[in-house]
Chain A
Amino acid sequence: MTRAGARRFGARACAALVALGLAGCHSWVPPSAPTDQPTQDLLEVVAVLRLHVDDDTYRFPPARDVSGRNVYRASFERLESLETAHPEKLSSGYATDVLWFSKARALERLGEYELATLHYERVFQLDTELTEPARRGYAVCRRLALATAPDPKPVDRTPQEVADRWTERRRQLEELKSDVAGEHWRYVVEEEIERGDAAESAYFTAQAAIDPRLEPTALQRATQLVEVHRESKNKNRHMLALADLYAELSRRYARRYPPASLGFDPATFDEYAEDATKLYEVVAQQDGTVEKLEAAHKLEAYLSYMLQVHEEKLPPQ
């Protein structure tokens, strides 16, 4: 221990002793309502939502409210509840703009751009102080909705056509990202780009199961997802997906060439297996993350599988 460290430890030790001495004294704890009580009124809902509008939900997980739920989803539910409970008052126009505007803000964070667009549209038709911000929200959500619209004919397309669609989607979103650079939507757009990349990777992973020629593409897309989104809150999830793909490719190889057969090439199997285990190990070492547990158990399961293959592929000598 360095001298500075020793001094700090000593100081903290004294503080700890004082704290221990005071522990017996009754201290006043601010009263707080139980989590199951209803929220007070509209202003409280809007205040909580406003606190999280600027959150970077691309790098960090969305905040949770008092009930432990996603704060955007919980706020949306509460606003819906208000709308259902007070239809007369709201139909008079009182606070309608605030309620719809807040719902739109919550919806855009939940990926419901089409619905958010409708809510923004209703707000700017009311012509209140929220009209201009609603117009801006409408424009952004409209572009988001168009860029992320599902493919109407996904089954009919070749892998190349699908890849081209994803590229076009990414181009539109990158353009939007530069347009909203200083606003809270940039995180929404970044999330959407990531979601698209993950979906494209998942598409090729699934296709590779049918057509082995697509295996290199699937690996390339999954690796790219890890590399491009290394700042994302989902980076461990992407690494797990890549590890799963390597593990699946090794399993597929062992099915195609059973380990005891003469066609089985240990080096090919080991190349897949080594990459899978290394990636699982990396995630399993990420302290303080939920994926750590999943990776540790997947690693254990995969090692058991490898044990079986190694036992079968080894001649008794």
Chain B
Amino acid sequence: MKRSCRRSSAAKALSLLACTALLAGCAGERAPKPAEWSPLAPPAHAAREPLPDDAERSAVRIAAAALAGRRADAEAESAALEREDAAREARGEERSGLADNAAELIAACDGSEAFPQDVDELLARDDLDPALRRRLEHARDTTPLAIADTRLSEELRFKVGSLFNRIVEPLSTLAISGAINPVAAARGALSTLLTAWSFPSASPREREALHEYDEWLARHPESPDGAEVRAEADTLREKLARERSRRDLRGANTAAGRHEWDVVEILAGRALRQTPDSSEAQRLLATARSELAAEDARAHSSLTVRELVPASLSPEQSERYLALARATAVAPPGEVARDARLFAAAGAPAELAPELRLLESFEPLGRGDEDATAAALAAVPGSRDAPDTASRQAGALLADSSRNAWAHYLEARSADDRARWRWIALGQFANGFPDRGLWRPLETLLDVPGLAMTLASFPLRMIQYPGARSHFAGGVVIQGERYVARYPQGVHAEQVHGELEELYAQRGYVAAALRHAEARQSPDAKAVAGYRAALAQQLVDSSQKEKRVDVRLAYLGTVLREFGDTPAAKEAREKFHKEKTDASPQKIRLTHDFLVENPALWGPGALGIAPELLDGKRANGEIAERGVTLLGKNVIQLELEDREPMVAHVPPDDFARFVALLEETSRAGLERDEREKAVPDAARDEFLSDARLGLAGADPRSSARSEAVYQSTHEKYGFVHSRDSILPVDIVLQGDIDTLGLAAFPRIRMPEPAPDELLYE
């Protein structure tokens, strides 16, 4: 009895202990705070805007007069505004801050053509707010003549800077390190000469300047400055025509070296249209035309036949010849070969021998013996001194990279071996000395020091070789694929599959490696499993790079369906589940810090979030770093610290106002901060545009979903605002272990490429 009581009390004590422990654990997790239960504050209107004062009413009247084209009224109203500001100042009050906007409005009355002329006057004012100043400076700097001047000065800076930077480095090395390494100094001097030589004579910057001059001339045909601008434009145009002609002629000469006369005809013709008096273009065009005519004549000749049957045949041989021709037309290849052999043995004339050997090569062809067919075809030319036409037919068959794929595969492999050895031995000079368009012996001379250093660094390339292996063998892969496509059951298929598998694996093309591994007669189960695992992982990784959720799901679904046995399948399943559960028509996110930076967005009349959630105190609940996500329509998701995310509906009117404020905030950021760049996202803009009008729906198409993120300034750019140096040069300290050279020198900073440079390349 006592023992049972003791057992019972021990059990009670244990239970009590467990309960205590459980309660202690629960006590560690704080109870939800009111704002976490209900993250949106009770509906409240935004603070009412004060009624417009006299200055604001004046500003509206100026705007109305400007829009209606009544410049005099606008100016009169502007004067009234100035008087109002003066009166405020006299009373010791703040000025309205609207005078600068009024001045801009009046300047705008003359239209966009005349506006740039007024910009300088506006910029001279000292009461411009920074955003307006930035906008005006932008207007001034984007006029055609301003852009043209900027590009031409950038071009000059680029050329001077390139030469200066190339000269100053070897000079500094010589000055500091003495004549320790005259070779490096000499090479530096040579590279300077080459830089000067290779400056394009019509660079993209100059072409853009030409375009801007033309644009200006089209807009201002009557301007007194027209003659000067036209002259500058003509100079640039002539330069451009010469450059184009030079390039076309260079291409035409290269094509002529390769006997590609149709290309020569096109390029030389183009050069001639640019520079009609170019004798070189005329000569090339004439040569191309005569070569093409000769080619046509040769082609016509090759399509004729010398005789129906050889004249030397006896009547009996003639009948036999005809029987052989009939058999050739319809009989199986083996029989054709046999008949040809019999005819040859029966004393066919010598001139028929190559044709009969060509027919004999049908025998292995009938058996499907690739190697024997190639050997038989190679044996068709049997004479040392009598070129015959049947041999060239055999040659054509052997030259066919698809039909004779194995021989071409072997050839590609040999070429690859040679290329790799050349690279190991000669590095960057593996394909000869680079062509800079200079006199060839001079080019060779210039590269001799480089070649010597390259040869000396041969051991380094031996070390680099395993990593560089994947850059080779492109031709082997193409030819190998041709072989297995043409002869899937071919005698060499197993070998080709094995080698292609290895090559693809080296390049990281796992899918292709897997295809070839599986095509082998006895697939290596371990290798196949490895490729499958790697491919599945690649698919999972790729899915995360896709913007569209349906594409992401398709990738993950493929992993689950096709590669369910791989380790990546677990991750794919989790991601698939997350994508599905998190699915929403929109996914536009505003981070915690962005909201803190812009309180108007979440205040009353906008998102209306409870202020405790953004006061930085976690004890009363706080929105997590990820912030708030717009899910579509007027639904938002709030990520809370230590809590599950909550979904809330914002009143439609408040949501529309929030969106308008959000767009206004972005626009103000773009005007205020030069680091801000407009990020293209059409789906985001479409959603916000509809939401502002109260039309935002829940478009289910993945292509309509945006995952834009609004971040605070310091999240994007950090806390320190770095500024570019006002000096046009950087100071460089440089040391080189190879040459033991030390240098310290200024380097001219090169101009950044223009944002639309690609339109002029």
Contacts and interface: CB of A to CB of B under 8 A. Distances in A.
A44 B303 contact: no
Contacts of A38: 301-302, 304-306, 389
Interface in A85-103: 85-86, 89-90, 94-95, 97-98, 101-102
Contacts of A313: 682
Interface string B3-30: 0000000000000000000000000000
B355 A31 contact: no
B685 A31 contact: no
Contacts of A101: 329-330
Contacts of A266: 682-683, 685-686, 704
Contacts of A316: 667, 670, 678
Given A37-B389, A46-B329, A314 B678 contact: yes
Interface residues of A, number: 77
A32 B301 contact: no
Interface in A19-74: 19, 28, 30-51, 59-61, 63-67, 69, 74
A264 B323 CA distance: 73
Contact of B403 (A5, A9, A63, A133): A63
A43 B324 contact: yes
Contacts, number: 231
A315 B678 CA distance: 9
Nearest to A53: B329
Interface stretch (A165-173, A199-207, A267-275): A267-275
A102 B328 CA distance: 10
A317 B310 contact: no
Interface stretch (A75-83, A149-157, A221-229, A247-255): A75-83
B474 interface: yes
A90 B322 CA distance: 12
A216 B324 CA distance: 57
A43 B329 contact: no
B726 interface: no
Interface in B656-679: 663, 666-667, 670, 678
Nearest to B381: A30
Contacts of B111: none
A2 interface: yes
B477 A287 contact: yes
A60 B402 CA distance: 8
Nearest to B686: A266
A186 interface: no
Most buried by A among B298, B304, B378, B485: B304
Contact of A90 (B302, B308, B417): B308
B298 A98 contact: no
Nearest to B469: A1
Given A47-B328, A95-B309, A271-B701, A12 B413 contact: yes
A95 B310 CA distance: 13
B381 A31 contact: yes
Contact of A130 (B326, B365, B381, B703): B326
Contact of A98 (B325, B355, B391): B325
B42 interface: no
Contacts of A48: 393
Contact of A39 (B389, B682, B689): B389
Contact of B417 (A12, A31, A63, A315): A12
Contact of B308 (A15, A31, A89): A89
B556 interface: no
Given A16-B414, A50-B336, A317-B663, A40 B306 contact: yes
B625 interface: no
B385 interface: yes
Interface in B59-112: none
B113 interface: no
A105 interface: yes
A32 B381 contact: yes
A45 B413 CA distance: 34
Contacts of A59: 485
Contacts of B541: none
Interface string B480-515: 011001100000000000000010001000000000
A9 B466 CA distance: 12
Interface string B343-377: 00000000110010011001001000000000000
Given A32-B387, A47-B355, A51-B397, A133 B414 contact: no
Nearest to A231: B485
A13 interface: yes
A42 B305 contact: yes
Contact of B304 (A15, A39, A60, A317): A39
A230 to B, nearest CB: 13
Nearest to A59: B485
B683 A67 contact: no
Nearest to A128: B326
B301 A63 contact: no
B666 A77 contact: no
Nearest to B486: A60
B396 interface: yes
Nearest to A265: B686
A112 interface: no
Given A13-B421, A36-B301, A63 B400 contact: yes
Contacts of A314: 678, 680, 682, 685
Interface string B419-446: 0110000000000000000000000000
Contacts of A77: 303
A94 B322 CA distance: 8
Contact of A105 (B329, B397, B502): B329
Contacts of A182: none
A67 B303 contact: yes
Contact of B388 (A13, A40, A85, A129): A40
A15 B411 CA distance: 13
A310 interface: yes
A85 B689 CA distance: 78
Given A40-B306, A78-B303, A32 B329 contact: no
A38 B392 CA distance: 11
Contacts of B390: 40, 44, 47
B386 A31 contact: yes
30 contacts: A15-B414, A31-B384, A32-B391, A36-B297, A36-B302, A37-B301, A38-B389, A39-B302, A40-B355, A42-B309, A43-B352, A43-B355, A44-B389, A51-B365, A66-B392, A67-B299, A74-B303, A81-B303, A82-B305, A94-B309, A94-B322, A98-B325, A98-B329, A129-B330, A130-B326, A266-B686, A267-B682, A267-B686, A267-B703, A270-B683
Interface of A: 1-2, 5, 9, 12-13, 15-16, 19, 28, 30-51, 59-61, 63-67, 69, 74, 77-78, 81-82, 85-86, 89-90, 94-95, 97-98, 101-102, 105, 128-130, 133, 265-271, 274, 287-288, 310, 313-317
For the complex of A and B, list the 9 residue pairs with the smallest distance between their C-beta atoms, beginning with the closest.
A266-B682, A30-B381, A36-B298, A267-B704, A288-B478, A267-B703, A31-B387, A33-B387, A38-B304
Given A267-B686, A314-B685, 11 more contacts: A35-B302, A35-B392, A39-B302, A39-B304, A43-B352, A50-B328, A65-B393, A81-B305, A265-B686, A270-B682, A270-B703
